[in-house]
Structure 1
Amino acid sequence: MGRKRILNVSRRQVIRGLLATSAFGLTAKLGTACSPSGTGGTDAAAEGGASGSGDPLTIGFIYVGPKDDYGYNQAHAEGAAGMAAKFNWVKLVEEANVPETTAVAESMRSMIDIDGAKAIFPTSFGYFDPHILKLAEEYPDVQFFHAGGLYQEGKTPKNIGSYFGYIDEAQYVAGIVAALTSKSGKLGFVAAKPIPQVLRNVNSYTLGARSVRPDATTQVLFTGNWAEPIKEAEATNSMVDQGIDVVTCHVDSPKVVMETAERRGIFCTGYHANQAALAPKGYLTGAEWDWTNIYSKIAEDIYAGKSLQDGTIDHILRGGLKDGFCKVSDYGPAVSAEAKAAADAAKATLMDGSLVIYSGEVKDNKGGVVVGANEKLEQKDPKLEQMDYLVEGVIGSVGG
């Protein structure tokens, strides 16, 4: 990781020099972290196209970690590669291991000024404020799409879009599998930060588990950051020592949690991407992103001349299992026929809309009512994107 970061900084320094001398033509061959993907014939323009220009569309992707982390960054990178492979008019540029600092602003400027990117996908949560907000004002003709950022009409620049999936639906299903596999009824959740998207996953996982096993509990431990491998290992080991026999997580790379669980002889459910290879005995299932679908749709819209600026591309894009934003991992060898049947049934009702996860009465883990007895919070309800509580059955607190 250190080596890649040095390469990234070196490339930015070279680019600044090239900008000063106007030697733009050389930059296409510089560096490895932000080079065209080479997939799907992306260097060649399609004949015609809906826009009629026939010119390639350059799209940039920025990741906070490595593209092979078995987690958040890999899921986005696989989605970008899948999109680029579908369209020979897409030119994909990428940069990995970019921290949530002014470094991401430099990366975005590089992609726009040097590579000619017309759309940028800075994928990490911390890129949004202030970096994307600032760059969007500097480059009003470029479209910025952020995973999870909250677009506010009249406040957020119109060339910013927010996209995210209701992956808590897949977490709900995984919670059912976990509860029906666990012998103790004690589940564990290693989480990064207590932000709404993370809390929603913890809560949905627990609600899924308790829908089939009302006495099930979920111990949650927050590490404080997206990538804290030592703390993630310590949290997992601590959970095992407490008698927890199924763990999951919401961190950038679930690799450490999955491998630690397998080494300690307990079960696990994954997140972001498929981690079955990391825990061949104990991997039960997981909640995976399927970003290829949404990235392909956005690319097609831009190529057809649509934009965030004129409102022909929605500023807020959301979807769940039914919409192909996410999926449930294949079941592992330890999953019983009973657990598979219960999970499949829940998945079917989530997809047809008859199951609403946050349907009252729902209490928090302090005894307060957070969803009234006659209340249903559908997936698009803004209250869910402002979640600041843990539901009944979760052991832990938002404060740590």
Structure 2
Amino acid sequence: MKFTTLLASAALALGLAGGAMAQDPTKVGFVYVGPVGDGGWTYEHDQGRLAVEAEFGDAVETVFVENVAEGPDAERVMTQMALDGADLIFTTSFGFMDPTINVASKFPDVKFEHATGYKRADNVSTYSARFYEGRAVQGHIAGKMTESNIIGYIASFPIPEVIRGINSAYLHAAKVNPDVEFKIIWVYTWFDPAKEADAAKALIDQGADVVLQHTDSTAPQAAAQEAGDVMTFGQASDMAQYAPFPRVSSIIDNWAPYYIERTRAVMDGTWESVDTWDGIPTGMVEIGEITDAVPAEVKAEAEAMIEAMRTGEYHPFTGPINKQDGSAWLAEGDVADDGTLAGMNFYIEGVDGEIPQ
């Protein structure tokens, strides 16, 4: 009888130990505004998701939903992810901000990470990249290479992130080419290939021989390629299928290290609500290969600028810079503070047009 009891106790102990060892994987969800095959913004976020799987193997389970509209549908998707047991949810578009905050308040034990927004909570972190650093490089190359002196810019939504990019690109184009003119078309979408293509064609019809974009598809690249003599830059992803021309370089968003770090923090219990805004120095912003379509001298200047930003020797918003109305903003040698940049709602001097309300 005692021997039977000992066997039963041993079996129970082994069962409990086995259960403890067979810990459920950490479940990580991703909410995407576009398709994973967009070749740009969402594609790079999904590369980050795949990097999480590669890093942690069976210790994680990742799920994603693509093509989620900004608004009530986003809240529904996030809620379902939380109900399905997600431990950590990355919401990867500015318009997901309020839905993220709303859902997070209902699931205090779930950690949320919102890309490009500014609202935080005890279980909501925010993160973004300093895309304006890459815009500075693009502006320099564009200003040097344009022959028509007209640079087109496809803008998504009039939020600070996009306005910063326009200002940074214009500032650095005008520094090397005072005759340069920016023409801006607002498309009010992140991803709509047809609208993006139409905008690119309209800018080309207006004389632009360089087209920049803050939208997610490769449609502007295709439109430029069809036009034959219009230069472009990859947005959010390398878009290298259009290299060496029209795409002469790119801004690449490298989310993988951040996603791995934040997933690890959830797994080891060290996760805290933080705000992260990184750029070229940490590798969150990368500059894609500058092709030989760019003259060697211009390429060397761009690479020197990249290195100066990497080491902290140069900040793209360094005075003197005036606002659009001519009023002083930054004096000689002054550098813009993060608070002003984060809320930027004005054009700098030389940019034509008004910011839509």
Query: How does the TM-score come out when normalised to structure 1?
Result: 0.79
Q: Distance in 1 between matches of 2:349 and 2:233?
A: 21
1:68 aligns with 2:37: yes
Q: Give the alignment partner of residue 344 of structure 1, picking from 274, 290, 303.
A: 303
Q: Distance in 2 between matches of 1:117 and 1:251?
A: 29
1:388 aligns with 2:345: yes
Q: What are the equivalent positions in structure 2 for 1:1-400 lying under 5 Å apart? A: 55-88=24-57, 89-114=59-84, 116-129=85-98, 131-151=99-119, 156-253=120-217, 255-265=218-228, 266-278=230-242, 280-308=244-272, 314-373=273-332, 375-378=334-337, 381-399=338-356
Aligned residue for 2:341, secondary structure, equals helix
Identity among equivalent positions (%) equals: 31
Q: CA deviation at 1:352?
A: 1.0
Partners of 1:361 and 1:372 within 8 A in 2:
yes
Render the CA deviation track for 1:73-128: whole Å, top value 9, x for unaligned.
111111111222122122111111111132222222222222x2100011121111
Q: CA deviation at 1:393?
A: 3.2
Partners of 1:171 and 1:205 within 8 A in 2:
yes
Corresponding residue of 1:21: none
Aligned residue for 2:286, secondary structure, equals strand
Q: CA deviation at 1:213?
A: 2.5
Q: CA deviation at 1:359?
A: 1.6
Q: Distance in 2 between matches of 1:61 and 1:330?
A: 29
Partners of 1:258 and 1:279 within 8 A in 2:
no
Deviating 4+ runs (over 6 angstroms): none
Greater radius of gyration (CA)? 2
Aligned length in residues: 335
Render the CA deviation track for 1:199-224: whole Å, top value 9, x for unaligned.
11111111222233333232211112
Q: CA deviation at 1:149?
A: 1.1
Aligned residue for 1:268, secondary structure, equals strand
Q: Distance in 2 between matches of 1:264 and 1:117?
A: 46
Rate the CA distance shift 1:279–1:256 in 2: closer, same or farther, 3 A: farther
Aligned residue for 1:194, secondary structure, equals coil
Q: CA deviation at 1:360?
A: 1.7
Q: Structure 1 unaligned runs (5+)?
A: 1-51, 309-313
Render the CA deviation track for 1:63-82: whole Å, top value 9, x for unaligned.
11110101211111111112
Specify which structure has the higher proportion of helix: 2
Q: Distance in 1 between matches of 2:328 and 2:192?
A: 33
Q: Structure 2 unaligned runs (5+)?
A: 1-20
Partners of 1:362 and 1:371 within 8 A in 2:
yes
Q: Distance in 2 between matches of 1:279 and 1:237?
A: 19
Render the CA deviation track for 1:39-69: whole Å, top value 9, x for unaligned.
xxxxxxxxxxxxx995421100011111010
What amino acid maps onto 2:295 in structure 1? S
What amino acid maps onto 2:290 in structure 1? Y
Aligned residue for 1:398, secondary structure, equals coil
Render the CA deviation track for 1:303-341: whole Å, top value 9, x for unaligned.
121122xxxxx5201111111111001112311101110
Q: Distance in 1 between matches of 2:257 and 2:131?
A: 14
Q: Distance in 1 between matches of 2:131 and 2:27?
A: 28
Aligned residue for 1:226, secondary structure, equals coil
Aligned residue for 1:333, secondary structure, equals coil
Partners of 2:244 and 2:293 within 8 A in 1:
no
Corresponding residue of 1:13: none
Partners of 1:275 and 1:283 within 8 A in 2:
yes
Rate the CA distance shift 1:261–1:396 in 2: closer, same or farther, 3 A: farther
Q: Distance in 2 between matches of 1:216 and 1:82?
A: 41
Rate the CA distance shift 1:172–1:53 in 2: closer, same or farther, 3 A: farther
Partners of 2:146 and 2:210 within 8 A in 1:
yes
Q: CA deviation at 1:259?
A: 0.8
Render the CA deviation track for 1:355-385: whole Å, top value 9, x for unaligned.
121122212333232323453114xx11101
What amino acid maps onto 2:329 in structure 1? V
Query: How does the TM-score come out when normalised to structure 2?
Result: 0.89
Aligned residue for 2:157, secondary structure, equals coil
Render the CA deviation track for 1:188-207: whole Å, top value 9, x for unaligned.
11001110000111111112
State the Cα RMSD in Å: 1.9
Q: CA deviation at 1:296?
A: 1.1
Partners of 1:364 and 1:389 within 8 A in 2:
yes
